[in-house]
Structure 1
Amino acid sequence: MAVTQQFARVTPDRLERCRAAALASPGAGPDWDPPADDTLDTDWALWGLLRYCRDRVPDPDPRPIALLDRAIHGDPGGDIGFLDHPDFYDGIDGPPRLLVPAVVSDISRALDGVDLDEVLAELPTDSAEAAVACGFGGFSGDVRAYLVRHFTAARTFFHGAARQGMCVVVWCD
């Protein structure tokens, strides 16, 4: 199974209940099981888009790139060490990280301001060349459509989290 970028929207109260469950459980299980509607798997699309923007887009606006990078990696700290548990996370990459509601709102606004057609204007039309530009080895298919589909899903996801005052937990699985 491939390692992919994962996001989960969660209220601060739900995080506290998971923390309490981990403290009360003999195995420190966090009782973490967010509803499917509050999770998002963006595969590696956002990583590829970020790489493309950093390497290929002339004079990119640094703010959306920085916030996209922050969305992918989360913020250090956040006191969610209880989620670094095999019931939730397999330990392939760094432990889950937290984006608090104010940061989620910032990211949501930044993603809303990205003109993806403009960003992808210079993406090669040849699929193999586009895949190389995004760092996707062995990718087959329409790279542009793949990036647009996952970016649009992430924008919608973060917009919903911001609108509801939710945190976002970020990890690779």
Structure 2
Amino acid sequence: MAITQQLARIPAEYLASCRQSAGESLDGNPHWDPSSADILDLDWAPTLLERICELGGLDDVHLNALRQSTAGDTAIDLGFLNTHPHAIGPFGSAPTALSAAQVARVSELLWQIDFPALLAALPTDETEAASLIGDGADRIVGGLRKYLLGHFNALRDFYRDASQRHLLLVLWWD
């Protein structure tokens, strides 16, 4: 099974409840179970999205916002979500999060990125474009640009909804 990037948009109160459950449970079970409607599976697109932005010459402010949107931040302690046997991302690095304020800022910056223009800067030949991108882009089935644009739009929309609802985001690899 492939390891993929997962994001969950949740209220701060839900995270506090999970932290409390983990603290009170004999086996550290946080009872982590966000709604499936509030989870985004980015597959293994984050590295490819970042590479497109680098190749297209995206400025540092927007590139860093994209990186933060898929890497999160370690300011919020999520150690309780990374404890065996209830770890939410046992195959990757420890889960990270973004506060509601960080989500709002990242969302704003993601919506300023002209991703179709960045894709247009790639060579028109799919094989050549995939070779330039690297990181397994040559294994994408169904169209490289379609895959990347679909995942970028999903990420941007996910952040916009989280921002509008004043939610924080938890990120992990599973």
TM-score, with length taken from structure 1: 0.92
Instruction: Give the deviation of 1:88 after TM superposition.
Output: 4.1
Aligned equivalents of 2:87, 2:2: Cα separation in 1: 16
Larger mean CA deviation between 81-90 and 32-41 belongs to 81-90
Partner of 1:45: 45
**Could you tell me whether the CA contact under 8 Å between 2:30 and 2:80 is conserved in 1?**
yes
Count of residue pairs brought into register by the alignment: 171
**Could you tell me whether the CA contact under 8 Å between 2:12 and 2:167 is conserved in 1?**
yes
After TM superposition, list the pairs within 5 Å mapping 1:3-18 onto structure 2. Answer: 3-18=3-18
Query: Letter of the aligned partner of 2:10 in structure 1?
Result: V
TM-score, with length taken from structure 2: 0.92
Secondary structure of 2:120's aligned partner? coil
Query: Letter of the aligned partner of 2:75 in structure 1?
Result: G
Larger mean CA deviation between 85-94 and 74-83 belongs to 85-94
Instruction: Give the deviation of 1:10 after TM superposition.
Output: 0.6
Partner of 2:66: 68
Structure 2, unmatched stretches of 5+, are none
Aligned equivalents of 2:63, 2:37: Cα separation in 1: 26
Matched, 1:133 2:166: no
Aligned equivalents of 1:33, 1:133: Cα separation in 2: 39
Secondary structure of 2:43's aligned partner? coil
Percent identity, please.
38
Partner of 2:144: 143
Instruction: Give the deviation of 1:118 after TM superposition.
Output: 1.3
**Could you tell me whether the CA contact under 8 Å between 1:127 and 1:141 is conserved in 2?**
no
Query: Letter of the aligned partner of 1:116 in structure 2?
Result: F
Partner of 1:31: 31
Partner of 2:78: 80
**Could you tell me whether the CA contact under 8 Å between 2:9 and 2:38 is conserved in 1?**
yes
Instruction: Give the deviation of 1:36 after TM superposition.
Output: 0.6
Instruction: Give the deviation of 1:119 after TM superposition.
Output: 1.3
Residue deviations 1:91-128 (CA, integer Å, cap 9, x gap): 22211001000000011001111111111121222222
Larger mean CA deviation between 78-87 and 24-33 belongs to 78-87
Partner of 1:123: 122
Residue deviations 1:12-60 (CA, integer Å, cap 9, x gap): 0000000011011111011000001100001122320102222x223x2
**Could you tell me whether the CA contact under 8 Å between 1:128 and 1:139 is conserved in 2?**
no
Aligned equivalents of 1:122, 1:47: Cα separation in 2: 18
